[in-house]
Amino acid sequence: MGEKVYELRKIKKKGKGMPLIGDKFPKMEVQTTQGMMKLPKDFKGKWFILFSHPADFTPVCTTEFVAFQLRYELFQELNCELIGLSVDQVFSHLKWIQWIAEHFDLDIEFPIIADTGKVADTLGLIHPNKGTNTVRAVFIVDPEGVIRAILYYPQELGRNIDEILRMVEGLQTAAEKEVAIPANWPCNEIIGKGLIIPPPSDMDSAVKRSEEEYKCFDWWLCYRNYYKW
């Protein structure tokens, strides 16, 4: 595994490949529907999600943009901004935003990058055998400009925006409380909204588990209720 990661990083240094989880988000200046922006600089101190879509005026992408906008305030409550992207000119984005407003009475408030292909190439977003169309990618970036999660979807499958919201909240909770997040959190089938305590690193720590305010199924699987933090 270590050798594979090393090879990926060697390829990336040669200008190929895509950024990896844990890497700094590449510095870039982009044209958007809200003017020129510098990434990740303009989102410093905030989380942000850069998500790409194959093209404007397409059915699945339209449903996604409506879903993102309907949850935009929820993202902002998590100190998280949104920025979209596709290889379309800015006037196409603006016309599409206008079309969405006219048909769904909904204003798209977050910026959309009008990419020439340079950003998509840097981030590894071009869909194989689909010309210049970008895949449905999601980059979740923390306030320090570090990529914390990457998601990729095929063109025919729309994203679950609630899952992306859950990921941001989960990543923030994991970092703040130094815990791990269980499956389907906060509705996990075993521990509900509980948060998993990292496994002990030595025998003394394992023995002390029973003295802590944890609930354990075994020494390596302990959790603490969220509300007790």
- Find all residues with CB under 8 Å of 220, minimum gap 6, and list them: 199, 200
| Alpha carbon distance 12, 194 (integer Å) | 38
| Alpha carbon distance 123, 184 (integer Å) | 28
H helix or E strand, kind and range, residue 95: helix 90-104
Q: Where are the domains of the chain?
A: 2-177, 178-229
- DSSP annotation of 64 reads H
Which homologous superfamily is 178-229 in?
A: Antioxidant, Horf6; Chain A, domain2 (3.30.1020.10)
Which sign, positive or negative, has the C-alpha torsion 55, 58, 61, 64? positive
pLDDT of residue 12: 45
Q: Would you give the distance in Å from CA 215 to the centre of its chain?
A: 31
Annotated active-site residue 187? The verdict is: no
CATH number 3.40.30.10 given to 2-177: yes
Q: How many CB atoms lie within 10 A of CB 88?
A: 21
Task: Check: CB of residue 84 under 8 Å from CB of residue 110.
Answer: yes
| Alpha carbon distance 176, 182 (integer Å) | 16
pLDDT of residue 15: 47
pLDDT of residue 220: 87
Instruction: Tell me which of 61, 80, 216, 222 is the catalytic residue.
Output: 61
pLDDT of residue 89: 96
| Alpha carbon distance 108, 206 (integer Å) | 51
Q: pLDDT truncated to tens, each residue of the chain (229 aa)? A: 445 444 434 444 444 568 999 999 999 999 999 999 999 999 999 999 999 999 999 999 999 999 999 999 999 999 999 999 999 999 999 999 999 999 999 999 999 999 999 999 999 888 666 666 788 999 999 999 999 999 999 888 999 999 999 999 999 999 999 999 999 999 999 999 999 998 877 877 777 665 667 888 988 899 998 654 4
Q: In what order do the strands lie in the sheet containing 215-218?
A: 195-197, 221-224, 215-218
CA distances to 57, 108, 186 from 105, in Å: 16, 10, 32
pLDDT of residue 16: 53
| Alpha carbon distance 138, 140 (integer Å) | 6
3 state DSSP class of 216 = strand
| Alpha carbon distance 185, 10 (integer Å) | 36
Length of the chain: 229
Half-sphere exposure of 21 (CA within 13 A, CB side): 7
pLDDT of residue 223: 93
